[in-house]
Amino acid sequence: MEYLPINIKLKEKKCVVFGAGNVAFRKIQMLNKAGAHIICVAKTIHKDIQQMWGDIVIIQDDISSYLRTVGLENITLIISATGDAKLAQHIFDVAKQQNVLINTVDDQRLCSYISPAIINRKPIIISVSSGGSAPVLSKKIRENIEKLLPHNLGKLAMYASNIRKQVKKTFSSMQDRRQFWEYFFNSSLSSRIINTGLMPDSNDVIEMFSNKPEKVGEVFLVGVGPGDPELLTIKALRVMQQADIVLYDNLIPKEILELVRRDAELINVGKSMGNHKVKQVDTNQLLIDHALEGKQVCRLKGGDPFIFGRGGEEIQALRSAGINYQIIPGITAAIGCASYAGIPLTHRDYAQKVVFLTAHCKNSIDTLEWSSLAQDRQTLVVYMGLMKSQFLVDKLIANGKNKKTPVAIIENGTRETQRVIMGNLYELAELIKHKTVKSPALLIIGGVAQLSNDLAWFQPQNHLKPHLNVLKTA
């Protein structure tokens, strides 16, 4: 290990930044966050730094003469960002002689310390360093960690710090205290702080753990979007990676399932129409049973859980059973498919209204208001519409919809296998049959559908080509 990572307390410590350009400004902002007493020395001062006048000391002077006359007495740390190689060497020599920590931007030879890439979830700080060998790689790693660490992690740490004294008073032995913290950080309470930022009353928390130290389970109803794994939300990904058990539907592609925690148990409760694998009541019961065992249960739903996903029914069952739950929205098929097919669902020339409907209802499809659906200047997005497409077309036309209304059928939207088939309303059912369209497929009916001809951009096969080219030339 060539460098030892340490965290320096810079609060009110004198730090000098030599140079006052763009880079120096970024470094000053960082030192400022750490509460340092900053002195910036340079001949010309960037306007952003000038505006910090009052917060920092700005000395407009020749750096060599400053070193000669004022020197580095009582200075804890130096950042050298002059962009002048000869001057940088001189600053480094003086700093070395006086044993002051120095970092010269972009010149590792002239550094007695190097700055890591930082992930800031105050008071939690994570630093990533490649020991100066590959700073861009460190930044990449930081980005990946950023995505995984919840925004409210710092709040959780602050909360823990706030109740620390009380915990110490309540649990006298160190072992009890350790057990409390184990329970607490695994509990639904801490996941609630992370997910919502809301802080529970500290007395309630401590009392709860004193009386009932067992792990409390919780169900996360997670929408994973229409298929492209990159359309997952950061929150969905994090919950998937924390789950003890994952219940999923047929619609969830395997690329998404591969992202769940490696040792989580996976159960397929998938339903395809007419072939109900696990009954809804049994799925509800599975969710309840596993949560009662104290598990973090992740219920994955295609698209958004509350759009034709029976999410409401599952949540009602959980609520009746007194199980804690959280709901994470996802991109619903209508939004995802429309984007990936180049169909703006609203457009001032064609539609001021969008209706999401399903042709697959608990009761009869005939409960839909056909005369309203047949009106112009709206976009109809039909979920689960393949089987009843002819009926849908007949009803719309009988209620006055123009039979030449443009339609688009989007099969496997947002996925590598996406197909977009365009046509007119009267031929919709025929197209589905002739092109052997399979589920999952979405129907978009309305003037906007024709825009796909001009605006389509997602061509899954071509999508890979640029990457391959890069690989070839690398």
In whole angstroms, give the CA distance from residue 286 to residue 1. 49
Tell me if 337 contacts ligand SAH by CB under 6 A.
yes
One residue of 442, 445, 448, 451 binding ligand SAH per CB under 6 A: 442
Q: Which is nearer to ligand SAH, 195 or 414 (CB)?
A: 414
**Residues 242/222, Cβ–Cβ less than 8 Å:** no
Q: Which is nearer to ligand SAH, 10 or 335 (CB)?
A: 335
CB of 100 to ligand SAH, least distance (A): 59
Q: Which is nearer to ligand SAH, 192 or 301 (CB)?
A: 301
Q: Interface with ligand SAH by CB under 6 A: which range of 5-13, 278-286, 411-419, 461-469?
A: 411-419
Q: Interface with ligand SAH by CB under 6 A: which range of 74-82, 176-184, 306-314, 392-400?
A: 306-314
One residue of 28, 49, 206, 307 binding ligand SAH per CB under 6 A: 307
Site for ligand SAH in 377-396 (CB under 6 A): 383-384
Cis amide linkage into residue 329, ω under 30° from 0: no
**Residues 201/163, Cβ–Cβ less than 8 Å:** no
Residue 302 one-letter amino acid: G
* DSSP state letters, 137-167: HHHHHHHHHHHHS-TTHHHHHHHHHHHHHHH
Q: Which is nearer to ligand SAH, 150 or 225 (CB)?
A: 225
* Positions marked catalytic: 249, 271
- Contacts with ligand SAH: how many residues (CB under 6 A)? 24
**Residues 407/432, Cβ–Cβ less than 8 Å:** no
CB of 54 to ligand SAH, least distance (A): 53
Phi and psi at 16, nearest 5°, equal: -110, 135
In whole angstroms, give the CA distance from residue 350 to residue 340. 19
CB of 274 to ligand SAH, least distance (A): 12
Tell me if 413 contacts ligand SAH by CB under 6 A.
yes
**Residues 355/346, Cβ–Cβ less than 8 Å:** no
One residue of 135, 150, 217, 309 binding ligand SAH per CB under 6 A: 309
Tell me if 304 contacts ligand SAH by CB under 6 A.
yes
One residue of 92, 180, 308, 325 binding ligand SAH per CB under 6 A: 308
Phi and psi at 93, nearest 5°, equal: -60, -45
Instruction: State the distance between the two ends of the chain, measured CA to CA, in whole angstroms.
Output: 30
Q: Is 349 helix (H, G, I), strand (E, B) or coil?
A: coil
CB of 39 to ligand SAH, least distance (A): 57
In whole angstroms, give the CA distance from residue 16 to residue 79. 6
What's the burial of 45, exposed, middle or buried (CB within 10 Å: 0-12/13-18/19+)?
Answer: buried
CB of 420 to ligand SAH, least distance (A): 10
**Residues 125/7, Cβ–Cβ less than 8 Å:** yes
CB of 376 to ligand SAH, least distance (A): 24
CA 146 to chain centre: 9
Integer CA distances (angstroms), 279 to 200, 282, 284, 308, 362, in order: 37, 5, 9, 16, 14
- Binding characters for ligand SAH, 150-189, by CB under 6 A (x = yes): ----------------------------------------
Tell me if 329 contacts ligand SAH by CB under 6 A.
no
Tell me if 424 contacts ligand SAH by CB under 6 A.
no
| β-bridge mates for residue 419, sequence order | 411
Q: Interface with ligand SAH by CB under 6 A: which range of 26-34, 104-112, 174-182, 413-421?
A: 413-421
Tell me if 283 contacts ligand SAH by CB under 6 A.
no
Q: Interface with ligand SAH by CB under 6 A: which range of 115-123, 173-181, 426-434, 435-443?
A: 435-443
**Residues 92/28, Cβ–Cβ less than 8 Å:** no
* Angle separating helix axes 311-320 and 280-292, nearest 10 degrees: 50
In whole angstroms, give the CA distance from residue 13 to residue 76. 6
How is residue 85 written in tokens?
């190689």
CB of 405 to ligand SAH, least distance (A): 19
CB of 399 to ligand SAH, least distance (A): 22
- The number of helix segments (H) and strand segments (E) in the chain equals 20, 19
One residue of 135, 150, 302, 423 binding ligand SAH per CB under 6 A: 302
Question: Minimal CB distance to ligand SAH: which residue?
Answer: 303
Tell me if 227 contacts ligand SAH by CB under 6 A.
yes
Binding region for ligand SAH (CB under 6 A): 226-227, 251, 301-304, 307-309, 332-333, 337, 383-384, 410, 412-415, 439-442
